[in-house]
Structure 1
Amino acid sequence: MKQFQAKTMVWLLILALCVTMTATGCLRQAPGETPEEGAETREVDVVVIGGGGAGLAAATAAAEKGASVILLEKGAFLGGNTILAGGAFNAVNPELQKKEEINPALMSELEELLEADEEEFGDFAETLSVLKEQIREYIDSGETSLFDSIELHMIHTYLGGKRTDLEGNEIASDFELAKTLCINAPKAREWLEEHGVEFNDQIGTVLGALWPRTNNVVGGGKSYIDALSQAAESQGVEILLETRGRELIVEDGRVVGVKAENADGETLVFRANKGVVIATGGFGANPQMRAEYNTYWENMPPDMKTTNSPNITGDGIEMAKAVGANLVGMGFIQLMPSSHPETGSLFSGVWGSAETQLFVNKEGKRFVNEYAERDVLSAAALEQEDDLFFIIADQQIVGDRDISDLLERGDVYQADTLEELAEKIGVPPENLVAEVEKYNSYVDNQYDPDFGKENFGNRIEVPPFVATPRSPAVHHTMGGVQIDTQARVLSEEGQPIPGLYAAGEVTGGIHAGNRLGGNAQADIFVFGKIAGESAAEGK
Structure 2
Amino acid sequence: MKNAMNVSRRDLFKFGGVAAMGVAAAGALAGCGQPKLAGTGDAAAAGDGSTYVGPSFLQKPAEITDFAETHDFDVVVVGAGESGLAAIHAALEAGATVGVLQSLSIVQTAGNMGASIDLTKTSEAGIKAALSFINYKSDYRANMGQVETWARNSQEALAWWAEAAAKGGSESKPYDYVVNCNGHDVYFHANTYFHDEGHQKGALIIGDAVQEEGAEIFFETPCVQLYMEDGRVAGAIGEAKDGSHVLLRAAKGVIMASGDYVGDSEMLYYYTPDAKGLHQAVDFRNGTGLKAAMWVGAQMCPASHTKMVHGEGPKVRFEMPYLFLDRHGKRFMDEGCCRMGYLNEFTNKYLAEVDFAESTAAKFFSIVPTNWEEHYEAWKPFSDISIHNAYRNVDPEAWIKGDTLEELAANMIAYADEEGWAHDYTVEAIVESINRYNELVAAGEGDADFGKRDEYMVPIEAPCYAVPRGANNIDALVDGLWCDDNLQCLDADMQPIPGLFAVGNASGPFFGNSNYPMDIEGLSVGRAITTGFATGRYVAGL
TM-score scaled by length of structure 1: 0.64
SS in 2 for 1:521: helix
Counterpart pick for 2:147 among 151, 175, 178: 178
User: Does the 8 A contact of 1:440 with 1:460 survive in 2?
Assistant: no
User: 1:241: how far off?
Assistant: 2.3
Residues 257-336 of structure 1 aligned to structure 2 (within 5 Å): 257-294=235-272, 297=274, 300-301=275-276, 303-307=277-281, 309-329=282-302, 331-336=303-308
Quote the RMSD (CA, aligned, Å): 4.5
- Gaps in structure 1 of 5+ consecutive residues: 1-29, 98-129, 135-148, 163-170, 341-347, 442-448
CA distance in 2, matches of 1:369, 1:184: 37
CA distance in 2, matches of 1:222, 1:60: 17
**1:476-516 deviations in Å (ceiling 9; x for gaps):** 43543122232222233333322222101111222123442
Identify the structure with the greater helix proportion.
1
Whichever residue aligns with residue 233 of structure 2, its letter is: V
User: Does the 8 A contact of 1:487 with 1:534 survive in 2?
Assistant: no
User: Does the 8 A contact of 1:333 with 1:476 survive in 2?
Assistant: no
Structure 2 equivalent of residue 527 of structure 1? 531
User: Does the 8 A contact of 2:145 with 2:486 survive in 1?
Assistant: no
Structure 1 equivalent of residue 347 of structure 2? 381
**1:433-491 deviations in Å (ceiling 9; x for gaps):** 779999999xxxxxxx9545999xxx999999674353434344354312223222223
Aligned residues: 416
User: 1:418: how far off?
Assistant: 7.3
**1:204-257 deviations in Å (ceiling 9; x for gaps):** 88xxxx999573513333355245324423422233322111011111122221
Structure 2 equivalent of residue 91 of structure 1? 116
* Change in 2 beyond 3 A, CA 1:285/1:439: farther
* Change in 2 beyond 3 A, CA 1:338/1:237: same
CA distance in 2, matches of 1:328, 1:520: 17
CA distance in 2, matches of 1:454, 1:319: 53
CA distance in 2, matches of 1:417, 1:284: 43
CA distance in 2, matches of 1:235, 1:49: 18
**Aligned structure 1 segments of 4 or more residues deviating by more than 6 angstroms:** 94-97, 392-403, 431-441, 459-464
**1:260-301 deviations in Å (ceiling 9; x for gaps):** 11223232222223221111112222111123334x63xx53
SS in 2 for 1:260: strand
User: Does the 8 A contact of 2:77 with 2:87 survive in 1?
Assistant: yes
- Gaps in structure 2 of 5+ consecutive residues: 1-59, 180-184, 354-360, 374-386, 414-424, 443-449
CA distance in 2, matches of 1:530, 1:160: 23
User: 1:154: how far off?
Assistant: 1.2
User: Does the 8 A contact of 1:92 with 1:153 survive in 2?
Assistant: no
Whichever residue aligns with residue 486 of structure 1, its letter is: N
Does residue 69 in structure 1 map to residue 98 in structure 2?
Answer: yes
* Change in 2 beyond 3 A, CA 1:339/1:55: same
Residues 443-522 of structure 1 aligned to structure 2 (within 5 Å): 451-452=452-453, 467-468=467-468, 470-514=470-514, 515-517=516-518, 518-522=522-526
Structure 2 equivalent of residue 160 of structure 1? 137
**1:15-55 deviations in Å (ceiling 9; x for gaps):** xxxxxxxxxxxxxxx76545315x12222222211121111
Does residue 255 in structure 1 map to residue 233 in structure 2?
Answer: yes
Deviates more, 1:420-429 or 1:462-471: 462-471
CA distance in 2, matches of 1:357, 1:534: 49
CA distance in 1, matches of 2:480, 2:285: 13
Structure 2 equivalent of residue 45 of structure 1? 74
User: 1:90: how far off?
Assistant: 3.9
User: 1:65: how far off?
Assistant: 1.4
CA distance in 2, matches of 1:438, 1:96: 49
SS in 2 for 1:532: helix
* Change in 2 beyond 3 A, CA 1:369/1:519: farther
User: Does the 8 A contact of 1:204 with 1:216 survive in 2?
Assistant: no
Structure 1 equivalent of residue 411 of structure 2? 424
User: 1:524: how far off?
Assistant: 0.7
CA distance in 2, matches of 1:328, 1:525: 20
User: Does the 8 A contact of 1:96 with 1:202 survive in 2?
Assistant: no
**1:409-453 deviations in Å (ceiling 9; x for gaps):** xxx875575754532322546468779999999xxxxxxx95459
CA distance in 1, matches of 2:461, 2:178: 22
CA distance in 1, matches of 2:105, 2:63: 26
SS in 2 for 1:498: strand
- Indicate the percent of aligned positions where both proteins have the same amino acid: 23
* Change in 2 beyond 3 A, CA 1:479/1:401: closer
CA distance in 1, matches of 2:187, 2:346: 23
* Change in 2 beyond 3 A, CA 1:381/1:292: closer
Whichever residue aligns with residue 390 of structure 1, its letter is: F
User: Does the 8 A contact of 1:282 with 1:476 survive in 2?
Assistant: yes
User: 1:77: how far off?
Assistant: 3.0
Structure 2 equivalent of residue 339 of structure 1? 311
* Change in 2 beyond 3 A, CA 1:96/1:179: closer
User: Does the 8 A contact of 1:247 with 1:259 survive in 2?
Assistant: yes
Structure 2 equivalent of residue 203 of structure 1? 177
Whichever residue aligns with residue 107 of structure 2, its letter is: L
Counterpart pick for 2:161 among 192, 207, 210: 192
Whichever residue aligns with residue 85 of structure 2, its letter is: L
